[in-house]
Structure 1
Amino acid sequence: MPKQGYHHGNLRQALVEACLALIEAKGPTGFTLSEAAREAGVTPAAVYRHFAGREDLIAEAARQGYEIFADLLEFAYDGGRPTVLSAFEKVGRAYLAFARKHPGHYVAMFESGISVNRTPELAAVSSRAMRVLERAAEALSEHIPADRRPPPQMFAAHIWAMSHGVVELFARGSPGTRAPFPPEDLLESGIGVYLRGLGLIPPDR
């Protein structure tokens, strides 16, 4: 029996929501397109009116996840207010919050094996999310002379990797893992240590 049958409205979106539920329950490779159809309460043939295969369905779930993700990061950064450093830290906390609140989207985006370049729409929205960190990195590096300034894209990618690592190891309740400190504190202190090491913020901040 499907958990929630499709009765009216947008069948495409009903299938995405079924996909997200199955990803949470079974992982991105643990279900078939027929199971997604059954979860949505439609026949397998109906799925192919909207998606050529399971990977296309997961790619759409990932695209929608990136839309939510980018919106959250942009809201958290808020133009670098009140300071770029505090905004950077808020962006990190938003990353953790997204992973907890939207686990199906998170897995579709980062653990499904679907390339962000699978569709132009997916590539564009994933770039929008990364651009939030790059803007913050550019703002932080403005006080460093240009000839000694590390590429903002490089340390933005490092901060993204640090955020992702904290999520994977400590913020998702994975079996066998236990954070020695709250994940938010781990990420905030890690960002501070990293940026100080690059000379991007003064030691007494």
Structure 2
Amino acid sequence: MDAKRVVDLLYWRDLKKTGAVFGASLFLLLSLTVCSIVSICSYVALALLSVTITFRIYKGILQAIQKSEEGHPFKAYLDQDVDLSQEIVHKYSDMTLARINSGLKELRRLFLVEDLVDSLKFAVLMWILTYVGALFNGLTLLILGLISAFSLPVVYEKYQTQIDHYYGLFNNQVKDIVGKIQDKVPGLKRKSE
């Protein structure tokens, strides 16, 4: 999927597609709160298999009654090539490897305190996440993230000027506070200063 299609999906440009993706994703995540991933995958596979077997038997009976030679109802899908090419696998594995390596370098930089301010920000973020982790489990955070991904872009698009105005005010306040703290505490000034 390219970026434009993802943006169109999140901004609800095609209501049917977005509704189907959002509904299926939310249903899957909510199902995971009740059953394990193994059970969910098994139930989905059984449901799909039940539909395809029933359809295959129905078409076979219909062909026998009408004495037609239509053949297998899923022949077009069975003839399709589903193999992954080595180029695609190498492309995505190289992209994944590059992201993992950059993430590891950033974590090394933060944990080994290359820049004190960034490491302190990271420590504050981890401290906040301990409280988030105590309130929510990972699945709840995924559900909230999915709902946010499909609702916040639309809200931002509708109220962009007001949100940008208040975000600018908030950002200026934060910069002022961080600047005052950096001026008062020795050793917190950035290397570029």
TM-score range, shorter chain: under 0.3
With structure 2 as the length reference, what TM-score do the two structures score? 0.25
Give the TM-score of the pair, scaled to structure 1: 0.24
Structure with the bigger percentage of helix = 2
Which structure has the higher relative contact order (CA within 8 Å, separation 6+)? 2
- Structure with bigger gyration radius: 2
